[in-house]
Amino acid sequence: MLNPSLNLNSHLFNRDVELASMRAGFGEGLVNAGKADKDVVALCADLTESLQMEAFKQKFPNRFIEIGVAEQNLVTVASGLAMAGKIPFIGSYAIFSPGRNWEQIRTTVCYNDVPVKIIGSHAGVTVGADGGSHQALEDIALMRVLPRMVVICPCDAIEARKATEASAKTDQPTYMRLGRDKTPIMTGEKTPFDIGKAHIVYQSERLTGSSCDIGIIATGPILYRALRVAKKLSEEGKAVRVMNLSTIKPLDEKAIIKLARDAGAIVTVEDHQIAGGMGSAVAECLAEHFPVPIEFVGIKDRFGQSGTPQELVKHYGIDEMHIYDAVHRAMLRKK
Amino acid sequence: MRSRGSIDCRLHKMLLTQDKIKLLEKKAAAIRRSIVEMLIEARSGHLAGAMGMADIFTYLYFHALKHDPKNPKWKYRDRLVLSNGHICPALYATMAHAGYFPVRELETLRKFGSRLQGHPHRDFLPSLETSSGPLGSGLSQTIGMALSDRIDSGKSSGRQYYCMMSDGELDEGNSWEAIMLAGKEKIQNLTVIVDRNNIQIDGFTEDIMPLNPLADKWRSFNWHVQEVNGHDFSEIDRAVGEAHAVYDRPSVIIAHTIPSKGIPEFERKFEWHGKAPTTAEEIKVALRAVK
């Protein structure tokens, strides 16, 4: 059952679960952040409407800068703004920013230690029809390797809004990853969100003590698929816990180690390359502190292609059946 | 704006008198000596560009810049961003002589724990405006600072924004993205000084990746363009004064400089772009030239 203390969307297992765009959540959060702090500014690289930054632009025309199709300039201008005391949010597709401008992010944002907020949309194979060139599958790896960078991967539109508002209040470089699709609303207005805090969002009804059969850790909208698998496994008599790991860096090591201790085996789930992604971060933590078998559900060293999100999720091995199989493989490996 | 022509120093905060020029020449000589000594001590570093830009750094820090070495974060200071971070020995030496930190600290260049990192890093030396090294990003950062100023103060801000760039770094696409944006935004309190020394690591710029006609390139991006002898304080001063007076677009001063200026044996040789005098003979030649 859903963790009752988190005030999650109680209808999320319904067929007609409400869908919403994470980009819209970001756009709303950006306006709120702009209202709360006059130093919040926004920059875009010719994708203002797609990134849902239009509302900010209308409301604060003096604080919005259109850079054109130039992502290296996008982040370096933001660096200068941040050095002068602003909190710049820069929006583009993840494949371009942080894809194309990685060195500029490293040097002018992280090395310079300024609070630029990088918003990368169209991450994951669920981008769909645009094809592999536009499906960022490497961005988590690119960002989490950078010293000082905070990496957030919200699970839905509401969390994207809260993450935007929260990141505007920190003085750290931050990357926030968004998908293209409308995705199921899983959290609620009252669901807590804190940067760096992971939550167990689901546990099987039969669970009374702390130990369970398997722990699933998911990041981003694919959490929805993990939750559906967990429900099925629970109905089949397994004792399952699911964690929403929406901040990948800094990693909530305490929560991850506790889950590994309770479950004895972990499955990580992400719409990103397995190499260097969220699962890698979890594995680094557990290998050092509490080694347990881990199965990784993610993209296996391949590029995406055109198709519907559902076709692609199935083809690339990150659908519900793959999560389900990974759970069983992980449980078999338990000592 | 090109036809605006020469503007005298009235718009400038200080008159550049003949006495002041003599003073600047003395300072520049001391700064060149420091650059040579620190590179010899470090046994590595970029000599040619640092020596070539010594006069311009001297002019800026001892004449043009509004700044306070004892209060480096002074809110109303002009900003100077070094985009081509590899010539930081010139910046460090000038800052030391201007009083930001003790001149003797220059000996620590490129050594473990030093505030004077091989390429500038604000973590170690917070009085720097930016950390730099990788080329082509400094102008964008300067534009960001100027835009922030415009958001806060409107167009009337009294601060000047200077960005020092090399000619070689104009190979970088990021540079031209920035040049395009500054033209679009008509950032009138921005002055770029390009070190036109015609060399880069692999050879002469016009052999490696031709930049000419360089002035026309900038002009076509809607910049006010001037060319000066980068070793003539009067010319530099006149151009900076004019750059400040131009109100409807950003300004670039293409400063023709001699790489390794001050050490005749090394001048104009691209081989000295990225190295320091290390052999006994090289050290002797370099020290003799700057004594």
Identity of the residue in A68, A81, A112 whose CB atom sits nearest the CB atom of B147: A81
User: How do strand B203-204 and strand B224-229 relate by DSSP bridges?
Assistant: unpaired
Q: Is the pLDDT of residue A256 over 70?
A: yes
Whole-number percent of chain B with pLDDT over 70:
95
Q: Is the Cβ pair A80, B143 closer than 8 Å? A: yes
Q: How confident is the model at residue A208 (pLDDT cuts 50, 70, 90)?
A: confident
Q: Is the Cβ pair B181, A73 closer than 8 Å? A: yes
Q: Is the Cβ pair B130, A62 closer than 8 Å? A: no
Q: How confident is the model at residue B77 (pLDDT cuts 50, 70, 90)?
A: very high
* Overall average pLDDT of the A1-8 stretch: 96
Report yes or no: B237 and B230 within 8 Å, Cβ to Cβ.
no
Q: Is the pLDDT of residue B95 over 80?
A: yes
Residues A229, A216: one domain?
yes
Report yes or no: A269 and A327 within 8 Å, Cβ to Cβ.
no
Provide residues of A within 8 Å CB-CB of chain B. Answer: 41, 62-63, 65, 67-68, 70, 72-73, 76-86, 88, 103-104, 107-108, 111-113
Please give the DSSP secondary-structure letter assigned to residue A12: T
Among residues A96, A162, A90, the alpha carbon closest in space to that of A123 is found at: A96
Q: Is the Cβ pair A68, B134 closer than 8 Å? A: no
Residues A200, A142: one domain?
no
* Overall average pLDDT of the A42-52 stretch: 97
Residues A328, A213: one domain?
yes
Domains identified in chain A, total number: 2
- The whole-number pLDDT of residue A209 equals 86
User: How do strand B199-200 and strand B190-196 relate by DSSP bridges?
Assistant: unpaired
Report yes or no: A178 and A121 within 8 Å, Cβ to Cβ.
yes
Whole-number percent of chain A with pLDDT over 90:
98
Q: How confident is the model at residue B13 (pLDDT cuts 50, 70, 90)?
A: low
Q: Is the pLDDT of residue B3 over 80?
A: no
Residue B152: HSE in the Cβ half-sphere, 13 Å Cα cutoff: 17
Q: How confident is the model at residue B157 (pLDDT cuts 50, 70, 90)?
A: confident
* One-letter identity of residue B290: V
Q: The domain that contains A180 carries what CATH number? A: 3.40.50.970
Residues of A with catalytic roles: 71
Q: Is the Cβ pair B137, A104 closer than 8 Å? A: yes
Phi-psi region of B43 (alpha: psi -120 to 50; beta: other; left: phi over 0): left
Report yes or no: A61 and A110 within 8 Å, Cβ to Cβ.
no
Residues A32, A175: one domain?
yes
Cβ-based contacts of B149 with chain A (< 8 Å): 84
Q: What does the alpha-carbon distance between residue B236 and residue B230 come to, in Å, rounded to a whole number?
A: 7
Q: Is the pLDDT of residue B1 over 50?
A: no
Residues A214, A78: one domain?
no
DSSP, residue by residue, A27-86: HHHHHHHHHH-TTEEEEESS-TTTTT-HHHHHH-GGGEEE--S-HHHHHHHHHHHHHTT-
Q: Which residues pair with A89 in a beta bridge?
A: A42, A117
DSSP, residue by residue, B9-29: GGGSSS---HHHHHHHHHHHH
* Overall average pLDDT of the B62-84 stretch: 96
Nearest CA in chain A to B126: A112
Residue B202 has φ and ψ, to the nearest 5°, of: -80, -10
Q: Final residue of a domain: which of A184, A217, A250?
A: A184
Residues A302, A204: one domain?
yes
Chain A and chain B share a number of CB contacts under 8 A equal to: 93
Residues A97, A208: one domain?
no
First-to-last alpha carbon distance for chain B, in angstroms, is 43
Q: Is the pLDDT of residue B279 over 90?
A: yes
Residues A157, A202: one domain?
no
Residues A179, A196: one domain?
no
Q: Is the Cβ pair B151, A86 closer than 8 Å? A: yes
| Shortest distance, CA A113 to any CA of chain B (angstroms) | 8
Q: How confident is the model at residue A147 (pLDDT cuts 50, 70, 90)?
A: very high
Q: Final residue of a domain: which of A184, A212, A237?
A: A184
Identity of the residue in A62, A83, A107 whose CB atom sits nearest the CB atom of B145: A83
Cβ-based contacts of A68 with chain B (< 8 Å): 177, 180-181
Q: What does the alpha-carbon distance between residue A55 and residue A31 come to, in Å, rounded to a whole number?
A: 7
Q: Final residue of a domain: which of A184, A210, A237?
A: A184
* Overall average pLDDT of the B227-231 stretch: 98
* Overall average pLDDT of the B216-230 stretch: 98
| Shortest distance, CA B130 to any CA of chain A (angstroms) | 7
Whole-number percent of chain B with pLDDT over 90:
93
| Shortest distance, CA A66 to any CA of chain B (angstroms) | 9
Please give the DSSP secondary-structure letter assigned to residue B115: S
- The whole-number pLDDT of residue B12 equals 44
Nearest CA in chain A to B150: A62
Nearest CA in chain A to B178: A73
Residues A273, A156: one domain?
no
Q: The domain that contains A244 carries what CATH number? A: 3.40.50.920
What are the pLDDT digits (tens) for A151-165?
Answer: 999 999 999 999 999
How far apart, in Å, are the Cα atoms of A103 and each of A107, A124, A193, B179, B194? 6, 22, 30, 19, 23
Identity of the residue in B131, B140, B149 whose CB atom sits nearest the CB atom of A76: B140
Round the average pLDDT of chain B to a whole number and report it: 94
| Shortest distance, CA A248 to any CA of chain B (angstroms) | 25
Domain of A167, in residue numbers: 19-184
| Shortest distance, CA B143 to any CA of chain A (angstroms) | 6
Instruction: Locate A235 and state its tokens.
Output: 């109905």
Identity of the residue in A41, A68, A107 whose CB atom sits nearest the CB atom of B133: A107
Residues A263, A163: one domain?
no
Nearest CA in chain B to A86: B148
Report yes or no: B260 and B52 within 8 Å, Cβ to Cβ.
yes
pTM (global) more than 0.90: yes
Q: What does the alpha-carbon distance between residue B56 and residue B16 come to, in Å, rounded to a whole number?
A: 14
Nearest CA in chain A to B163: A80
- What is the domain class of B2-7+25-290 according to CATH? alpha beta
- The whole-number pLDDT of residue B10 equals 35
Among residues A174, A47, A46, the alpha carbon closest in space to that of A121 is found at: A47
Whole-number percent of chain A with pLDDT over 70:
100
Q: Is the Cβ pair A70, B149 closer than 8 Å? A: no
DSSP, residue by residue, A93-131: ETTTTTTTTHHHIIIIIIITT---EEEEESBSGGG-TT-
* Overall average pLDDT of the B117-134 stretch: 97
Residues A115, A242: one domain?
no
* Overall average pLDDT of the B247-262 stretch: 97
What strands lie across the sheet with A240-244, from one edge to the other? A199-203, A240-244, A214-218, A266-273, A294-299
